[in-house]
Amino acid sequence: MTATVVDDKIVHYEVLGRGRPIIFLHGWVGSWRYWIPAMQAASVSYRAYALDLWGFGDSAKEVTDYSLQRQTDLLLGFLDRLGIGKIALIGHGLGALVSTIFTRKYPSMVDRLMLISIPFEISSVSPRLRNPSSLADLADWLLSKDPLTEPVRLDASKADPQAIITSLNSLDAMSVLPIMDIFATPCLVVHGQSDPAIQMTTDERILAMSENVHQIILEDSGHFPMLDESTKFHRLMADFLALESGESPRQLQLKEEWKRRVR
């Protein structure tokens, strides 16, 4: 296990590959571990980091650290401790919210970001996620029966349920939509068509956002597109990361393999 210290508390992380840095941030169910296939795919050309946010996996668990703002502070402290400069961010669920807030606060540090299963406002979140009866129940609800999903099930029980509740309470006090409307950083939004936890934003609302924001729907995915359609997800991730710095992800719709899935 690899770890560093932020604000006098342990932050667990893992790293693969060499090259420009990419940070993977997990969602409300699981930990860094379910990013392993994506990290392996990215590590051919990039240095891929994945960390456990406060309250999850093997990072510290203190209730005062579970707000979206404190999770964002964790990311800043992590980058500072490791001496990492400009990054690409790939966040899922909770990690997508943290990535968005971080980019709003520190735009010069983020070259691009990929937001997976992000709720733009609290009304997009299923009550079942907001008030989990148990972590095992959430895992059973959101995960298909597949060997790729086992890492999520294994680490789901490590989370402090209050970390889920507190972060969603933070979202209840804000809306991500105004941030996205003026985003200057290239941003690719990815949703699974059959996600039971997060309601996707309409095509019309996405088109009304900054021209730097683009959405792609993976039709055979639920809440975990990176596991449900891993091959397609890795191809899309590679295409997005290969864009020239500052180039809008909306040009991804010109690629033949994505035309059918672009909304």
For 6-63, write each residue's pLDDT tens digit: 999 999 999 999 999 999 999 999 999 999 999 999 999 999 999 999 999 999 999 9
Confidence of residue 1 (pLDDT cuts 50, 70, 90): confident
Pairing of strands 2-6, 213-218: unpaired
pLDDT for the residue 255:
52
User: How buried is residue 143: exposed, middle or buried, by Cβ count under 10 Å (0-12/13-18/19+)?
Assistant: buried
Banded model confidence at residue 253, pLDDT cuts 50, 70, 90: low
Enter the pTM of the model: 0.95
Mean pLDDT, residues 129-137: 90
φ/ψ of residue 218, rounded to 5? -95, 115
For domain 2-261, the CATH architecture is 3-Layer(aba) Sandwich (3.40)
**Cβ count near 14 (within 10 Å):** 18
- What confidence score (pLDDT) does residue 261 get? 45
In angstroms, how far is CA 1 from the centroid of its own chain?
A: 22
Percent of the chain at pLDDT exceeding 70:
96
CA 46, CA 205: separation in Å to the nearest integer? 33
CA gap 61, 142 in Å, rounded: 23
pLDDT tens track for 192-231 = 999 999 999 888 898 899 899 999 999 999 999 999 999 9
Mean pLDDT, the chain, rounded, equals 92
- Residue 148 pLDDT > 70, yes or no? yes
Q: Is the pLDDT of residue 66 over 60?
A: yes
CB atoms within 10 A of CB 162: 13
**Hey, what amino acid is at 108?**
S
- pLDDT for residue 260 is more than 80: no
Q: Is pLDDT of 190 > 70?
A: yes
Give pLDDT, residue 36: 96
Name the band, by pLDDT with cuts 50, 70 and 90, for residue 145: confident
What is the band of 72 on the pLDDT scale with cuts at 50, 70, 90? very high
Cβ atoms of 247 and 186 within 8 Å: the answer is: yes
Is the CB of residue 216 less than 8 Å from the CB of residue 189?
yes
pLDDT confidence of residue 262: 44
What would the 3-class secondary structure string for the chain be? CEEEEECCEEEEEEEECCCEEEEEECCCCCCHHHHHHHHHHHCCCEEEEEECCCCCCCCCCCHHHCCHHHHHHHHHHHHHHHCCCCEEEEEECHHHHHHHHHHHHCHHHEEEEEEECCCCCHHHECHHHHCCCCHHHHHHHHCCCCHHHHHHHHHHCCCCHHHHHHHHHHHHCCCCHHHHHCCCCCEEEEEECCCCCECCCCHHHHHCCCCCEEEEEECCCCCCHHHHCHHHHHHHHHHHHHCCCCCCHHHHHHCHHHHHHEC
Identify the pLDDT of residue 263.
43
Query: What's residue 175's pLDDT?
Result: 86
Axis crossing angle, helix 68-82 with helix 161-172, rounded to the nearest 10: 110
Question: Which tokens in the block code for residue 57?
Answer: 């996996």
Could you give the percent of the chain with pLDDT greater than 90?
Answer: 82
- CA-to-CA distance for 78 and 73, rounded, in angstroms? 8
